[in-house]
Structure 1
Amino acid sequence: MEVELRHLRAFSAVARLHSFSRAAQELSITQPALSRTIAQLEGALSVRLLDRTARRVDLTDAGAEFLPHAERVLSTLGQALAAARRTVTLRLGFSWLLPDPWAQQAVSGFETATHTTVTLVRSDDPVQALLGRAVDVAVLRGDVTSPRPVRTVHLYDETRIAVCARQCALAERDRLDWTEVKEWPLVVNTVSGTTRPDSWTADQRPKQIVETANFDEWVETVAANRGIGIVPEVARHRTPHPALRFVDLTNAPPIPVSLIHLPDGPRTLIRRFLEAAVAAVPPECVLSHE
């Protein structure tokens, strides 16, 4: 039988911890499976590596001589894997204003855990960027039905807020109710915006819609007092514009924040990023999956 890395990892763990039970726990395997692995290694080498007693596990002379060589192999492999991973990147797509602080914590947690770099890719249409293989994972806001075979993971919901030009009459108010929006011209980003006419029932929809094609156009159109806008709360401190004024919005439905990916993408990296993304969800937010 050939000696495999699993044999070296098992032997190193038992030698370091002097315990089969603790080593099995560290390796996330059962103690009988660990015992079989050590027995396979000793059988392959035709030598006894460990002395087992009721209280302790110690190295034999042969085991003490073999241990540094085994650990050197494991160390060299770890260095090789780390070097390879530094050349790998995960491409994260977004349309505008990544959720804060979720994005920073998710990226940092993923990079620390995997030694893989996240490359941020801005696209006005994250779904098309994903389908075109320009990104591996994308942040998606709003109630958007993604086409097959795109998979969606709903992370949490953001609060909506209203925004207007400083010379707009709304700027004098402290708050605006969701049902009052219909009385104002509404500026919408038709490509990546989260608030559109169909966000209301037919009888509650704004009477006048001003369309823009991206976030920058949307900002400048609102600043020019062509209408009001509705965006996630994060825009209040992420969109510094001297001509804008943010107004609290009451009774507004929240904005879902999701991640989308393809089932045939880099599975391990995507799975690890989803784990980091879930771990970074603010504790006060309700978490769910689709």
Structure 2
Amino acid sequence: MDVELRHIRAFAAVAHHGSFTRAAEALLITQPALSRTVAQLEKILGVELLDRSSRRIDLTGPGLEFLGHADQVLAALEQGIAAARKDVTIRLGFSWLLPDPWAQRTVTRFEADVGAAVSLVRSDDPLQALRERSVDVALVRGRIRNAPPASRAVHLYDEVRVAVCAADSALAERERLAWSEVPSWPLVVNTRSGTTGPWSFPDGQGPQRTVETGNFDEWLESVAANRGIGIVPEVAQRRINHPAARFVPLTGAPASPVHLVHLPGGQQEMVNRFLDVAVASARGAPRA
């Protein structure tokens, strides 16, 4: 028996969902049928792809390597189907507040010049979405952390940082905050897509206490609840109007880079054309 597309879809679903039950629900098949399909794949390949020794489903070494190739196959198939239907779309993943006017300018120029569409895909973790091939390009603010192997990054520009605090915080009464003072305040950190965290400071010089959150909304509400202060690109100051939050100018802070990250393969020519337009738009887009 040869490896079939159903084998690859079944294995990828289990690997990404971490559960036969959830994967079966996503594929609209029964769990026993899914288990048999994955077992068939392992028999064909002659290796174990999944570690079933505990209640949690983990990938073996060969399974992790095979998943990368499986994701590429499935992504290429989807893109091939879209191309055949003349329905080419670049999926741009982002976590919060796309930069303006860069995003609007890039989408407008690309769609007008190339004739393809751009789909804006919000994700708490755009790099994970890129790893799963559910987006073609991921917009990443700050230092690139946990990027997929073999991914490539294109620098767009740097953003200015500002501080944000609760309206009833002592910091709200100040005219400015120095970057060197940040570690003395409890720092609320968006661990998935935030630009500022313990990693932003030299070893031993970071914040004395951090409050971890999993996405931008949790981060903002934690700051507004006076759990600590936050550091964010100034685009948030222009576009967020939270009654319980106050923005404070931040002096001496390093700029926060903005990158586009992508994985080779799939509709690479179209991705490259999108990157060219994105870089050109960044150079010509004035920023406050």
Paired position in structure 1 for 2:263: 262
Paired position in structure 2 for 1:238: 239
SS at match of 2:272: helix
Unaligned runs of 5+ in 1: 1-82, 286-290
- Which aligned pairs between 1:45-64 and structure 2 lie closer than 5 A? none
Q: CA deviation at 1:125?
A: 1.1
Paired position in structure 2 for 1:108: 108
Change (3 A) 1:212 1:120: same
For the residues of structure 2 that align with 1:231 and 1:243, how far apart are their CA atoms? Answer: 16
For the residues of structure 2 that align with 1:160 and 1:277, how far apart are their CA atoms? Answer: 22
SS at match of 2:282: coil
For the residues of structure 2 that align with 1:249 and 1:284, how far apart are their CA atoms? Answer: 23
Q: Which structure has the greater CA radius of gyration?
A: 1
Paired position in structure 2 for 1:136: 136
**TM-score when normalising by structure 2:** 0.67
Paired position in structure 2 for 1:175: 176
For the residues of structure 1 that align with 2:101 and 2:241, how far apart are their CA atoms? Answer: 17
**TM-score when normalising by structure 1:** 0.67
Letter in 2 for 1:103: A
For the residues of structure 2 that align with 1:126 and 1:284, how far apart are their CA atoms? Answer: 23
SS at match of 1:206: coil
Contact kept in structure 2, 1:188 and 1:218, CA below 8 Å: yes
Letter in 2 for 1:236: Q
Aligned length: 204
Letter in 1 for 2:213: T
Paired position in structure 2 for 1:199: 200
Q: C-alpha deviations, 1:30-87, integer Å up to 9, x for none?
A: xxxxxxxxxxxxxxxxxxxxxxxxxxxxxxxxxxxxxxxxxxxxxxxxxxxxx964x2
Contact kept in structure 1, 2:163 and 2:248, CA below 8 Å: yes
Contact kept in structure 2, 1:102 and 1:282, CA below 8 Å: no
For the residues of structure 1 that align with 2:273 and 2:109, how far apart are their CA atoms? Answer: 10
For the residues of structure 1 that align with 2:246 and 2:160, how far apart are their CA atoms? Answer: 17
For the residues of structure 2 that align with 1:193 and 1:123, how far apart are their CA atoms? Answer: 13
Contact kept in structure 2, 1:110 and 1:116, CA below 8 Å: yes
- Which aligned pairs between 1:86-105 and structure 2 lie closer than 5 A? 87-105=87-105
- Which aligned pairs between 1:149-188 and structure 2 lie closer than 5 A? 149-188=150-189
Change (3 A) 1:284 1:107: closer
For the residues of structure 1 that align with 2:269 and 2:183, how far apart are their CA atoms? Answer: 46
Paired position in structure 2 for 1:5: none
Q: CA deviation at 1:106?
A: 0.8
> Within the alignment, does 1:226 sit opposite 2:242 as a pair?
no
Unaligned runs of 5+ in 2: 1-83
Contact kept in structure 1, 2:102 and 2:285, CA below 8 Å: no
Report the aligned-residue RMSD: 2.0
Q: CA deviation at 1:223?
A: 0.5
> Within the alignment, does 1:214 sit opposite 2:215 as a pair?
yes
Paired position in structure 1 for 2:37: none
For the residues of structure 1 that align with 2:148 and 2:135, how far apart are their CA atoms? Answer: 16
Q: CA deviation at 1:117?
A: 1.2
Letter in 1 for 2:142: G
Letter in 1 for 2:163: A
Q: CA deviation at 1:262?
A: 1.1
Letter in 2 for 1:171: A
Change (3 A) 1:245 1:127: same
Paired position in structure 1 for 2:40: none
Q: CA deviation at 1:208?
A: 1.1
For the residues of structure 1 that align with 2:277 and 2:121, how far apart are their CA atoms? Answer: 18
Q: CA deviation at 1:282?
A: 4.1
Contact kept in structure 2, 1:179 and 1:204, CA below 8 Å: no
Contact kept in structure 2, 1:91 and 1:136, CA below 8 Å: yes
For the residues of structure 1 that align with 2:285 and 2:137, how far apart are their CA atoms? Answer: 24
Q: CA deviation at 1:95?
A: 0.9
